[in-house]
Amino acid sequence: MEAQLQELKTQALDKITAASTVKELNDVRVAYLGKKGPITDLLKGMGKLPAEERPKMGALVNVVREEVTTQLEGRMVILEEEAINQKLQSETIDITLPGRPVKTGNPHPLTRVVEEIEDLFISMGYEVAEGPEVEKDYYNFEALNLPKGHPARDMQDSFYITEDILLRTHTSPVQARTMEAKGGEPIKIICPGKVYRRDSDDATHSHQFTQIEGLVIGEDIRMSDLKGTLSVFAKKMFGDDREIRLRPSFFPFTEPSVEMDISCFKCGGSGCNVCKKTGWIEILGAGMVHPNVLEMAGYDSKRLTGFAFGMGPERIAMLKYGIEDIRHFYTNDVRFLSQFQRTEL
């Protein structure tokens, strides 16, 4: 019986080694260790043995069974791992295939520029003020020190609807309205919006365009405050190493009036095609609020002073992104619009 047992063990171990799949190995398990298997049979047959042999024989059978079991489990680990590996192998995908597209749109480049400017000034304590695009002549011109017949009205040929109503030619009427509404109190606002002028559309002109203007009124507001504010703006918008310079200019609603240039962000000031070899790029117009404008809105110009500035997001976007034709902003070619997706931070 012992020999039979050894024979059985050898056979079982051979079959375990020979099994190449989990299923085959399971068959071996059933064949040798199962309820109907030979080892079980042997154990069942123990009853026929003499009583004194039983313990020895029982121990022997158990040793064999344990060894077969250990070998089988060891083999099982290996075969299962192989099986998993095989499955993984068969599940391998081509990771170079494109991902499932996530649809995303993006803001218009002008919105992008306007919001960047809004956020910058909001962080400096400004509110955003808006107003109608169809305006009264009074707010668009007269309240801004441009009485009827003023020669500077020629600067901005306008679309009139009636004698007294027109499409606003700048966002300055929002300033006039805000001043009137604030009744002599300090102001810190930024005013973005669409404006309209009688220009034929071409690469550099558009009868509709956008503007963003700022107005600060308070006690002891000085021209140096204007320069400092614009300097912060230029650095945030165009880079920390930007310098600004002010040049005298003229706007009827400010006195003194200036135009602001920034050192060229492309060449740093040495001269290139962006700055037309001058090293400087004109960015905006500004000035100290004209006392007539303050007085007309009910401010005491002896007590409160202010500054204002205005710029064109189209121009800024064209400079920043190197866009050559203003009409791109209004054609809505998706090949143009979708380029303003990614961040520049």
Round to whole Å and give the CA distance between 168 and 209. Answer: 11
> Are residues 338 and 106 in contact, defined by beta-carbon separation less than 8 angstroms?
yes
Round to whole Å and give the CA distance between 205 and 224. Answer: 33
The CB density around residue 178, as the number of other CB atoms within 10 Å, is 19
Q: How far is the CB of 274 from other proteins (least distance, A)?
A: 18
Closer to other proteins at the Cβ: 68 or 158? 158
Closer to other proteins at the Cβ: 54 or 222? 222
Q: How far is the CB of 89 from other proteins (least distance, A)?
A: 22
Q: How far is the CB of 146 from other proteins (least distance, A)?
A: 10
Q: DSSP readout, 216-235? A: EEEET--HHHHHHHHHHHHH
Phi/psi class of residue 332: alpha, beta or left (left: φ > 0; alpha: ψ in -120 to 50)? left
Closer to other proteins at the Cβ: 75 or 170? 170
Round to whole Å and give the CA distance between 65 and 35. Answer: 13
Q: DSSP readout, 279-339? A: SEEEEEEEEEEPHHHHHHTT--TTTEEEEEEEE-HHHHHHHHHT---TTHHHH--HHHHTT
Q: How far is the CB of 297 from other proteins (least distance, A)?
A: 16
Closer to other proteins at the Cβ: 55 or 186? 186
Closer to other proteins at the Cβ: 51 or 95? 95
Handedness of CA 30, 34, 36, 37 (dihedral sign): positive
Query: Which residues lie across from 137 on neighbouring strands?
Result: none
Q: How far is the CB of 252 from other proteins (least distance, A)?
A: 8
Q: How far is the CB of 243 from other proteins (least distance, A)?
A: 10
Q: How far is the CB of 168 from other proteins (least distance, A)?
A: 11
CA distances from 267 to 236, 270, 278, 300, 315 (A): 18, 6, 10, 45, 18
Q: DSSP readout, 120-157? A: HHHHTT-EE----SEEEHHHHTGGGT--TT-GGGGGS-
Round to whole Å and give the CA distance between 306 and 287. Answer: 9
Closer to other proteins at the Cβ: 60 or 232? 232
Closer to other proteins at the Cβ: 89 or 162? 162
- Tokens standing for 2? 């012992």
- Tokens standing for 316? 């800024």
Closer to other proteins at the Cβ: 48 or 103? 103
Q: How far is the CB of 142 from other proteins (least distance, A)?
A: 15
Q: How far is the CB of 333 from other proteins (least distance, A)?
A: 6
Q: Comparing C-alpha atoms, which of 256, 231, 254 is closest to residue 244?
A: 231
End-to-end CA distance of the chain: 84
Closer to other proteins at the Cβ: 69 or 159? 159
